[in-house]
Chain A
């Protein structure tokens, strides 16, 4: 079974631009969540989607948004990029809609903002 796939793996953007990151969950998984990882802040929860609905949102500004498609694939978008948005963005999927289910991570998208 293929794991969680994230694209692109690496990208460089300029301040003020926007970026879209893509995530394909493990087949059959309906919950997709996104995390931002930085050396100073560690792993911070961005949002979680289930059946195309955002169910949970972390404490990030409105520049960070996401969506989920009917095939459970998900995208996140960051508009008006700032230097501080440079981070590893991790997508994770899980099979069901209850708490405690293991989440499986992709390898992440490395975003550098210059």
Chain B
């Protein structure tokens, strides 16, 4: 069975500081991994996804994530936080076989302090 653990339900960073949102996954087969962002009163928008092509994945809005198989991690980073990055971020995993079923983490709310 697949699962995702996001460490830290709330993260606060200063504007201009590094953003690091942690995600660890569990999967019995090589996974596909995703990061989604949700702004207030909106649905989820894809930031980036890992599908085994490259371990460092670049996404939209300056975000990137690195797949580390040995650590079963897929942490999301951004070098410099903007006020507009304040949102909730979800890590998700999908197994590379079988039907479409994506399992989401509990989410991390990012607060950016001016």
Q: Does the CB pair A45–B103 fall under 8 Å?
A: yes
Known: A42-B107, A99-B95, A99-B97. A4 touches B102 (CB 8 A): no
Which single residue of chain A is at the shortest CB-CB distance from B50? Answer: A100
Known: A100-B94, A102-B34. A94 touches B44 (CB 8 A): no
Expressed in whole angstroms, the minimum distance between the Cβ of A79 and any Cβ of chain B is: 24
Which A residues are in CB contact (< 8 Å) with B49?
A: 102
Is there a chain A Cβ closer than 8 Å to B114's Cβ? no
For the complex, give the distance between the alpha carbons of A6 and B12 in Å: 32
Q: Which of B62-109 contact A (CB under 8 A)?
A: 90, 94-107
From B44, B97, B105, B106, give the contact of A105 (CB < 8 A): B44
Which A residues are in CB contact (< 8 Å) with B105?
A: 42
From A45, A48, A50, A105, give the contact of B43 (CB < 8 A): A105
Which single residue of chain A is at the shortest CB-CB distance from B44? Answer: A105
Is there a chain A Cβ closer than 8 Å to B61's Cβ? no
For the complex, give the distance between the alpha carbons of A103 and B105 in Å: 15
Q: Which of A88-109 contact B (CB under 8 A)?
A: 90, 92, 94, 97-108
Which single residue of chain B is at the shortest CB-CB distance from A43? Answer: B104
Which A residues are in CB contact (< 8 Å) with B97?
A: 99
Which A residues are in CB contact (< 8 Å) with B107?
A: 42-43
- Contact indicator per residue, chain A 39-57, by CB within 8 Å of chain B (1) or not (0): 0001101001010000110
Q: Which interface residue of B43, B90, B107 has the most chain A CB atoms within 10 A?
A: B43
List residues of B whose CB falls within 8 A of some A CB: 32, 34, 36, 41-46, 49, 51, 90, 94-107
| 17 A-B contacts (beta carbon < 8 Å) | A43-B104, A55-B99, A56-B101, A94-B100, A97-B99, A97-B100, A99-B95, A99-B98, A100-B32, A101-B100, A102-B34, A102-B49, A103-B102, A105-B36, A107-B41, A107-B42, A107-B43
